[in-house]
Structure formats: structure tokens, C-alpha cells
């Protein structure tokens, strides 16, 4: 037996910190999960039930709690969805480990048992997984998967529309041969005003800018775009210099030189065939007026990421000097137009019918900034899930069905295990069942009774698709309800949670830098 009291006390304080984080997120799990209102130090309010967002905004001091924050972040980076579930599972595993520690089982034996149980759970997931048709001509199954992801978000009011937008965006940019999706080609832009239903997918690029002069044309067709990162201004000597203007003639000569330089730059752009200049830097009123006179529409102060996306979409090259501009470096677009919104003076630039048709923008509307930001987070999760299906088109069914099936498999294996690890394996199975219980609790059901009934039915009917009926549709079959989760995401959840728990169980002390031994 293991009875090093000091080690156990330290571990228990670590487990308490991790459990506190997990219990905060438990109420946000599932389609009926509650939202959290996060207020930052500036008083800025964020309303969300995205696990990674909640934890990243929480001010946690304990080092173990910070590990839980990192856990949700790694799930978000790798999979995009399931950030709440992975933290709840890790919290449940640590809670079960605490009971095993009280019984005198060494943390290393618990870790080994958890490791074995995780392997069995992953094997069970492979057995119950189904291959999913990932066919661009039949998008319905993909839309159902995206709807499962969006079901637990604030924007489930226009559930199907958002799912269709996410699927169409991914299929537009997906490379089906390589089975990969370049997220750089998908941009999300939001504008306050309108309603969520006005959200749309635009094949092209939207830039939150307008033409530099109000008298420039608002619609351009068959556009050749010069993408410039050099400013419309006379070149300055690179050395430290001082210019004395001592007379009116000198000033007029300087003014004339500047005007000639501006005109020379504009002619360089026009002579290469460009009929729109997009500039990363600004230009003054004189240059703006000359651009209008020479009938060269221009957009100024376009940011770095936006200018890169425009270059990718239009097939143009970013030009750092006017002398390097050639006709081959110009981007092409069928239509560039400036659009305005409602009664406000808000304007945006839409670049459509681009050379590279794979660049898309999801344009989100909403009543306020909070809704738009949450819609962006929800759509990001949906995009990640569809991307994962393009990579690996195997799925398992949600609603806690796969967790219950894994728990049953782990319990069966524990019965055959002759060593001490069988206790840890049973605890692992109990921890897996915390997820369906939390789903039942958040849906207003009796968690223990519902969980017991579903588990018994899974064993009796040998049906691993039975889960918690969160939406009260009078069927526990998640396949019928189209509650679908990607296999790759569910595997990652179990593996990441197990790894973090094993790491926490091996920590026996926390030392700060410069802290003395006593």
C-alpha cells in the first residue's frame, strides 16, 4: 500500500484546483448547456459557451488549473471542437483518482491503469465508428455533422443556414486529392447591424475599407489590381538630412517635384494596365486628387493579412516598389464594388469573381458585437469539424453514446485484468460516464436514472448508438437524431485528457524560482 501522506496531500490540492475548473465548464456542455458571461479588466463583456474561450479569459492562479486551460487550447488548435468535453473528462478522471488515492493505491499504478483503459476506449471507438460519405455532390451528411456542432452554440436559431455556410466554405477551398483544407483561404468578417439570418458566404474577399475618394466609381468590372506595399509619396533620402526652404521659389520647386513624382507613379501603375490600386499605406489629399483626375480608383490603408488574401484570391503579386510593377504581377477580378449598410455610413469593399475561385469570405451580421464574435467562434468550430471529416471521414455518434460504449468496453476489460490496475480502469469507465450524465443534467433530466436506463439498453440491445435524448425527441438513437461527431475529435479528447491527468498524477511538489528548500 502507498501511504506517503505528504505526496497525497499535495496531489489532492492539485486535483481540487483542476476539479474547480472542470466544474465551471460542466454546465456549458451539450445543446442545452448554459453560457458564461466573461468580463475582462477593461469591462469588455463576452458571452460564450465555447470551452477554450471561457478558460482563456478566466483569471486562474493555480499552476494545475493553468494546465487545464492549456488542455482546452490544445484540443481547440488540433480539432477545433470538443473543448468543453475534454476538460470535463479530465476533471472526472482526477476526481476518480482522488478516491483511489484514499484507498492507498500509488499514483503510478493509477496512471498505468488509465493508460490501459484509454487504449481500450480508442479500440472500441474504432469498432463502433462508421465511414461517412464525404461527397461534394451530396452535402446533407456533412450539414448534419455541422448542425451537431452548432447545436450547443448561441447561434442555433439559424442552425441549418450556418451549417450550410460552413460546409460550402470548406468544400470550396478543400483539396479533395490531398484531403486537406487551407484555412488561410477562408476569412470571417463581421458587421454590426442586420440579423443573424443575413449572414452569407461570398465567393471572394471582403475588405473593411472604401475607395479613397468619394467621387470614385462604386462598381468596377473586369478589374486589373495593382497590389502595392509602397506609399504614394516622393522617395525620402535614407540618411539623416535637413532641407532648408528659404524662398517661395524653393517651395514651389519642391511642390512641383512632388506633383511630378505623384504623376509619374500613377502613370507607372496605369501603363501596366491596372485600373485599381490597393495600397498598404496611406496617401495625402494631393495624391488622392491626382488619382481621381487620372481615373485610377484606389483603396488605402489595407492591412497586411487582408492584402495577402487579396493577392491569393486575385492571383496578383504584392509589389514593394513602383519600378518593379509589371503586367504579370497584376491581380484580376470580375467585379469590385463598394457596399453600404442601412442608414449608417459604414462601407465595405467586395472583390468577387477572382482568378483563384477558392478564396471565400463568411460575412456575418448580428445585432451587436457579442453575437457576431460568438457566431465567429461557433462557425470556426463547425469549419474545423468539416475539415476533420475531409481528412478522415469516420464518425461516431454523440449524445454520450460513444462514451457509454467505451465505458462498457473498459469495464469488461477490467473484469479480466488480474493486477491492481483494474481499479483504475473501472474508475476510468466511471469518469467517461460523467459526460452523458452532465448532458442529461443540463437537459433537465434525472442524470443517474437516465444514464442507468441508456447503459442498460446499450447492453441489452447491443446498440452503441444509444445516448442521452437532450432535445426530447422521444428516441435515444443518436443515429436517427443525426447527432454526429468525428472519430478523430473523440479520440483526441480521450487521449489528451488521459495524458494531462497522468502528468498531474506524477507531480508531487510545486517550486517557484528562487524559493528556498525550507
Burial of 328 (0-12, 13-18, 19+ CB in 10 A): exposed
Beta carbons of 185 and 202 less than 8 angstroms apart? no
Catalytic residue among 27, 46, 53, 83: 83
Identify the DSSP state of 484: E
381 is catalytic: yes
Catalytic residue among 76, 381, 469, 477: 381
Distances in Å between the Cα of 21 and the Cα atoms of 74, 126, 157, 440, 504 are 16, 30, 29, 20, 14
DSSP codes joined into one string, 86-144:
HHHHHHHHHHHHHHHHHTT--HHHHHHHHHHHHHHHHHHHHHH-EE---BTTB-HHHHH
Catalytic residue among 53, 84, 145, 450: 84
83 is catalytic: yes
5 is catalytic: no
How many Å apart are CA 25 and CA 114, to the nearest integer? 23
Identify the DSSP state of 294: T
Closest CA to 62 of 24, 103, 104: 24
Catalytic residue among 24, 46, 48, 50: 50
Strand partners, 361: 187, 202
351: phi then psi, degrees, rounded to nearest 5:
-110, 110
State how beta strands 331-340 and 219-228 pair. antiparallel
119: which residues sit within 8 A by CB, 6+ positions away?
none
84 is catalytic: yes
Active site residues: 50, 83-84, 381
Amino acid at each position: 500500500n502507498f501511504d506517503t501522506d505528504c505526496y497525497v496531500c499535495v496531489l489532492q490540492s492539485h486535483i481540487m484546483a483542476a476539479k474547480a475548473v472542470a466544474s465551471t465548464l460542466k454546465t456549458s456542455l451539450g445543446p442545452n448547456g448554459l453560457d458564461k458571461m466573461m468580463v475582462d479588466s477593461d469591462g469588455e463583456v463576452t458571452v460564450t459557451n465555447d470551452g477554450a474561450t471561457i478558460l482563456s479569459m478566466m483569471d486562474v492562479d493555480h499552476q494545475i488549473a493553468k494546465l487545464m486551460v492549456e488542455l482546452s487550447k490544445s484540443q481547440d488548435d488540433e480539432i477545433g471542437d470538443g473543448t468543453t468535453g475534454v476538460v470535463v473528462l479530465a476533471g472526472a478522471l482526477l476526481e476518480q483518482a482522488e478516491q483511489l488515492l484514499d484507498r492507498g493505491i500509488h499514483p503510478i499504478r493509477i496512471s498505468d491503469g488509465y493508460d490501459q483503459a484509454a487504449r481500450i476506449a480508442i479500440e472500441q471507438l474504432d469498432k463502433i465508428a462508421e465511414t461517412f460519405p464525404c461527397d461534394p455532390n451530396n452535402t446533407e451528411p456533412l450539414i448534419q455533422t455541422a448542425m451537431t456542432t452548432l447545436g450547443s452554440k448561441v447561434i442555433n436559431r439559424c442552425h441549418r443556414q450556418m451549417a450550410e455556410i460552413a460546409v460550402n466554405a470548406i468544400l470550396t477551398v478543400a483539396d479533395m486529392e490531398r484531403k486537406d483544407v487551407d484555412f488561410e483561404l477562408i476569412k470571417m468578417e463581421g458587421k454590426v447591424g442586420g440579423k443573424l439570418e443575413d449572414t452569407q458566404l461570398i465567393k471572394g474577399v471582403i475588405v473593411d475599407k472604401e475607395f479613397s475618394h468619394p467621387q470614385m466609381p462604386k462598381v468596377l468590372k473586369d478589374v486589373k489590381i495593382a497590389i502595392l506595399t509602397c506609399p504614394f509619396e516622393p522617395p525620402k533620402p535614407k540618411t539623416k538630412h535637413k532641407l532648408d526652404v528659404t524662398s517661395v521659389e524653393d517651395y514651389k520647386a519642391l511642390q512641383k517635384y512632388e506633383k511630378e513624382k505623384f504623376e509619374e507613379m500613377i502613370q507607372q501603375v496605369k501603363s501596366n494596365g491596372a485600373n485599381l490600386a490597393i495600397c498598404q499605406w496611406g496617401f495625402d489629399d494631393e495624391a488622392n486628387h491626382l488619382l481621381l483626375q487620372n481615373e485610377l480608383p484606389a483603396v488605402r490603408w489595407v492591412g497586411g493579412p487582408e492584402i495577402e488574401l487579396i493577392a491569393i484570391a486575385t492571383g496578383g503579386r504584392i509589389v514593394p516598389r513602383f519600378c518593379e510593377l509589371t503586367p504579370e504581377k497584376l491581380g484580376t477580378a470580375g467585379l469590385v464594388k463598394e457596399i453600404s449598410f442601412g442608414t449608417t455610413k459604414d462601407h465595405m469593399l467586395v472583390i468577387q469573381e477572382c482568378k483563384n475561385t477558392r478564396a471565400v469570405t463568411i460575412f456575418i451580421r448580428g445585432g451587436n458585437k457579442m453575437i457576431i464574435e460568438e457566431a465567429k467562434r461557433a462557425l470556426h468550430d463547425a469549419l474545423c469539424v468539416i475539415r476533420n471529416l475531409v481528412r478522415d471521414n469516420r464518425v461516431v455518434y454523440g449524445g454520450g453514446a460513444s462514451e457509454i460504449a467505451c465505458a462498457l468496453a473498459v469495464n469488461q476489460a477490467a473484469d479480466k485484468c488480474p493486477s491492481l490496475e483494474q481499479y483504475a480502469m473501472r474508475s476510468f469507465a466511471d469518469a467517461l460516464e460523467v459526460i452523458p450524465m452532465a448532458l442529461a443534467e443540463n437537459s433537465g433530466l434525472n442524470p443517474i436514472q437516465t444514464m442507468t436506463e441508456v447503459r442498460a439498453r446499450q447492453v441489452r440491445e447491443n446498440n452503441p448508438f444509444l445516448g442521452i435524448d437532450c432535445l426530447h425527441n422521444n428516441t435515444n438513437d443518436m443515429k436517427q437524431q443525426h447527432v454526429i461527431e468525428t472519430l478523430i475529435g473523440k479520440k483526441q479528447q480521450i487521449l489528451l485528457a488521459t495524458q494531462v491527468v497522468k502528468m498531474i498524477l506524477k507531480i508531487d511538489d510545486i517550486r517557484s524560482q528562487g524559493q528556498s528548500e525550507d
